[in-house]
Amino acid sequence: MTSQRLVDLWPAAGVRVRAGDLEMRWIDDDLAVDLALLAGKGVHDEGTMPFNYPWTRGTGREVARSVLTYQWGARPSVSADRLVLELGVLIGGEPVGIQSASGEGWSVLREVETGSWLGRAHQGKGIGRRMRALMLHFCFEALHAEHVVSAAFEDNVASNAVSRRTGYATDGVQRVEREGVAATQTRYRMDRDRWLEVRDQNQNIIDENIEVVGVEALLADLENADPT
């Protein structure tokens, strides 16, 4: 469990978002290990690659170590210039995946891009849709974002379906290199006006009261103010 001493020094470590049995929270070392081991058991079929960087290739140990090194490297990037929030996703206290939001020039653009993954044992249960809806609520209602964007390869049926279901508008396509081959991604965007239109729709997806903890101190930290 994250200590209060750490939260006092690094407010992002105190961020938690809860809705019923669904929780998203800062990834401390213990949770990072749990999530790394989960990823090592598999995130997708061998014949697919849903990520720009193929971090899921390799042995279970290699994949787990990749998760750890990435999470350790992401922790310092919580600032007005570069905001990276990697939140562990838990269902009933059990780690099931990660939901992230990141953006450059946060203080000016107020824009983040979301990304996520779920362990294979937890896919196909509607968790991906719920955690994306909860992250949208957190970004717009708690962080006061103006734009939230996402992208998915054309063959990532589940991710594209979640983006459409939660109300993103399509924002064109882009060609990127994926494991040495050109591939096409669909881009998605939601601005604040669109969020206000689909907020109730996403609340229905979440279907629980939402509790956000620790965001006031985080916002103060991002504004370079003393949260006390």
Q: What is the pLDDT of residues 10-48, one digit of tens each?
A: 999 999 999 999 999 999 999 999 999 999 999 999 999
Q: Phi, psi (5° rounding) for residue 172?
A: 90, -175
At 44 the pLDDT is 96
Query: Can you give the pLDDT at residue 228?
Result: 47
* Strand 169-178 relative to strand 147-153, pairing: unpaired
Q: What is the pLDDT of residue 227?
A: 45
Residues 6+ apart with CB under 8 A from 126: none
The superfamily CATH assigns to domain 4-222 is Gcn5-related N-acetyltransferase (GNAT) (3.40.630.30)
Per-residue confidence (pLDDT) for residue 8, from 0 to 100: 94
State how beta strands 111-118 and 94-104 pair: antiparallel
Cα angle vertex 195, ends 189, 196, to 5°?
A: 155
* Domain spans, the chain: 4-222
Contact of 21 with 225, CB cutoff 8 Å:
no
Amino acid 99: pLDDT: 98
pLDDT of 34 reads 99
**Cα Rg of the chain, angstroms:** 17
Q: What is the DSSP letter of 223?
A: T
As given in the structure block, the two tokens for residue 106 are 């946060």
Q: Which residues of the chain have pLDDT under 70?
A: 1, 225-228
Helical H segments across 146-214, by residue range: 157-165, 192-206
What is the predicted pLDDT for the residue at 1?
62
Distance between CA atoms of 209 and 131, rounded to whole angstroms? 14
Give the C-alpha separation, 86 to 101, whole Å: 7
Q: Determine the pLDDT at residue 3.
A: 87
Q: State the Cα–Cα distance between residues 27 and 118, nearest whole angstrom.
A: 15
